[in-house]
Structure 1
Amino acid sequence: MSEQQPTPAEAAGGEPVGARTVEEVVRGQLSKALGGVRGMLEAAVPTLVFTALWLTARDLRLALVCSVAAAMVLLVVRLVQRSSVQFVVNALVGIGIGALFVTLSARSGGSEDEQALAYFLPGILYNAGYAVLMGLSCVTRWPLVGFMVGSVTGDPTAWRSDPQVVRLCTRLTWLLVLPCVVRVALQAPLWLGASSGALSAEPVIAALGVMKVVLGWPLQVAALAAMAWVLGRNRTPVSTAAA
C-alpha cells in the first residue's frame, strides 16, 4: 500500500489500523453476527419448546403455537428493553418456514407423522445449503469469514492479498461449516429413511427432535470455542490484510 493511500481503517473512519488484529476483528464480528449467548438462546428456546411438546403431548398444532408464543415473549422483552430483535425475528422466521412445510404436507394429505417430518426438512436443507456455500468459498479461496475483516478495513477484498490472512479465514470458515455437516450427516439419513417408509416414523421424529436441540446451539458453541482457540494462537495485524 503506497504512502499516499489512507489506511483501510482510516478509509472506514475507524481507529488506526495498528490498534487491531485480524483475530480481534473476527471475534467482534462473530459476536455481533451471533448475538452472543443471549442471541443463541433466543434461537434455541422456540425449538426446544416445540420439541418438548411434540415428544410429550404429540400435538403438532399445540407445539407450533407454543413455540411461536415463546418467541413472541422473547420479542416483547427485547422491545421493552429497546434492544435488537434480530435474533428473535430469526427464530420466528425459522418457525414460520417450518409451519409452512407442515401446512403444505397437510394440504397434500400427509399424516400427522408426515407433517412432523416436514417440520424438520427446512433445517436439514438450510444446513446442507450453508455447508455447500461455505465450503465452496473455502475451496475457491474466498472464505466468507474474510469478508468480516473486509467490513472493518473498508476494503471488502484487500485481505486476499495476504496468504496468512486467507489461511486464517479459511480455517475459521471450515470450523463454521463443520456443525452444518454434522447435522446433515446425522439427520438426513433418518429423515429420508422415515419419509421412504424404510424406518418407523415415530422414533425417527423423536430422534430428530432431540437432535435439533442437541445439535443446535450446543454444537455451535463448540465450534465457536474451537474458533476462539484458533484466534487466540496468532496476532495478524489488520494492516497486513490490506497491504
Structure 2
Amino acid sequence: MTTPEPDTRESLREILGGRRGAVDASVPVVAFVLVWLLAGALSWWSPVGIAAGAAIVAGIGVACWRLARGRRPRAVLFGLLGVTVAALVALYTGRAEDFFLVQILSNVASALAWAISIVVRWPLLGVIVGLALGQKTRWRRDPDLLRGYQRASWVWVAQYVVRVAVFVPLYQAEWVFALGAARVAFSPALVALSVVLSWPALRSALPADHPGIRHPRVADAPPEAPTVDGSSTNG
C-alpha cells in the first residue's frame, strides 16, 4: 500500500475539522458554565438567565472575530444559531443542564443520519469531502472510493454514539459542570480522533495504485456500438 500524499492527508484533515471549530464551540459553553456557577454562588437573580445571556454574548463575540478573520459567514452563523437555541431552551425550562439538550439530541440525530447514509450508499463523509473538493457526486462512480467512504463514515457514527453514551448519564444526573467539562475537553478530542482514524479507514478500501480522494477513478462510458449499416446507435 502506498503512502498518501501529504497534501491529500492534510486536505482531508482540514475538510473534516480543525482546532478553530473546537475553540469556537467551546467559548460559549465555558461562558455559560462559569457564569452559572458564579451567579449561583453569589445568589444572583436567575443564574440560568444570566448564564444564557453570557453564552449568547460569547457566541456573538466569537462570530464577529471569525468574520473579521475571513471565515465563511454561513459556518459562523450556524454556530451562533446553535448557541442561541441552546440558551433559549435553558431559559425556557429554567434548568441549566438543558443548555446541553440540543447538543445531545443533535448527536443522536447525527448518529442515525450517518448510519442511514452508509446503508443507502450515500455515506455522508463522501458527500462532505466531495462537495468541498468540487467533485459533486463523481466519487460515487468510483467503487473503491464509495467503499472507503462507507468504512470511514462508521468512525463518525461511533464517535456520535460515544458522545451520547457519555452525555446522557451526565444530563440525567444534572451535573452541569461535568457536562461543560465534557463538552469542552471530550468532544473536541473525539472529533480529532475521528479525523485521524478516517484516513486509514478510507485508505484501507483503496488499491495501492489508486490516485487518492482528489482523483476519483470513474470508468469512461462504453463506446457506441455501430449498427449493421455502420452508423452510430445514437441515430
TM exceeds 0.5? yes
From 31, 46, 53, the counterpart of 2:14: 31
**Cα displacement (A) at 1:98:** 0.9
Structure 2 gaps of 5+ residues are 41-46, 220-235
> Which among 210, 213, 216 is matched to residue 184 of structure 2?
213
Shift of 1:190: 3.7
Aligned positions, number:
204
The residue aligned with 1:116 is: 96
What are the residue-to-residue correspondences of 1:229-240 with 2, within 5 Å? 229-230=200-201, 236-237=210-211, 239-240=215-216
SS of 1:216's equivalent in the other structure is helix
1:64 Cα shift? 1.9
Unaligned runs of 5+ in 1: 1-20, 107-114, 195-200
2:153 corresponding residue in structure 1: 173
Instruction: Classify 1:205/1:22 alpha carbon distance in 2 versus 1 (closer, same or farther; 3 Å).
Output: same
Structure with more contact order per residue of length (Cα contacts < 8 Å, sep ≥ 6)? 1
Q: Does 1:104 align with 2:92?
A: yes
**Alignment CA distance shift 1:97-1:26 (3 Å):** farther
Q: In the TM superposition, what are the counterparts of 1:1-243 in structure 2 within 5 Å?
A: 28=11, 31-32=14-15, 34=17, 36-58=18-40, 59-106=47-94, 115-151=95-131, 152=133, 154-156=135-137, 158-191=138-171, 193-194=172-173, 201=174, 204-230=175-201, 236-237=210-211, 239-243=215-219
Shift in alpha-carbon separation, 1:153–1:99, aligned structure 2, 3 A: closer
Residue 14 of structure 1 corresponds to which residue in structure 2? Answer: none
Structure 1 length-normalised TM: 0.70
Report the alpha carbon displacement of residue 83 of structure 1 after superposing the two structures with TM: 3.7
Question: Does the Cα contact within 8 Å between 1:50 and 1:64 map onto a contact in 2?
Answer: yes
**Percent of paired sites with the same residue:** 29
The one-character-per-residue Cα deviations of 1:65-94 (angstroms, maximum 9, x if unpaired) are 222222222223234334434444333212
Cα distance in structure 1, aligned partners of 2:7 and 2:217? 13
Greater shift after overlay, 224-233 or 58-67? Answer: 224-233
Specify the structure having the higher radius of gyration (Cα).
2
* 1:217–1:85 distance in 2 versus 1, CA, 3 Å: farther
TM-score between the two structures when normalised by the length of structure 2: 0.72
Cα RMSD, aligned residues only: 3.0
Secondary structure of the 2:124 match is: coil
Structure 2 counterpart of 1:112? none
CA change 1:138–1:24 in 2 (3 A) is: farther
